[in-house]
Amino acid sequence: MFGVIDLPTYLAGLVLIVLLPGPNSLYVLSVAARRGVRAGYTAAAGVWCGDTVLMTLSAAGVASLLQANAVLFGIVKYAGAGYLSWLAVGMLRAAVGMWRARREKAVEATPAAVPAAPAEERPYRRALVISLFNPKAILFFVAFFVQFVSESNPVMGFVTLGVLAQLASVLYLSALIFGGARLAAAFRRRRTLSAGATSAAGVLFLGFAVKLSLASV
User: Could you tell me the residue ranges of all domains in the chain?
Assistant: 7-213
Q: Which helix (H) or strand (E) holds 186?
A: helix 154-189
Do 190 and 109 form a contact (C-beta atoms < 8 A)?
no
User: Is the pTM for the entire model greater than 0.85?
Assistant: no
Read off the pLDDT of each residue in 131-139 and give the average, rounded to a whole number.
77
78-130 pLDDT tens trace? 776 776 677 777 767 766 776 676 665 544 444 444 444 454 678 999 999 88
The crossing angle, in degrees rounded to 10, of helices 191-213 and 23-35 is 160
According to the model, what pLDDT value does residue 184 have? 64
Q: What are phi and psi of 159, to 5 degrees?
A: -65, -45
* CA separation for the pair 210, 108 (Å, rounded): 36
Q: What residues contact 110, with CB distance under 8 A and at least 6 apart?
A: 101
Q: What are phi and psi of 149, to 5 degrees?
A: -90, 125
140-196 pLDDT tens trace? 776 677 778 877 787 888 888 889 999 999 999 999 898 877 766 655 555 565 566
DSSP string covering 84-139: HHHHHHHHHHHHHHHHHHHHTTPPTTSGGGS----TT--HHHHHHHHHHT-HHHHH
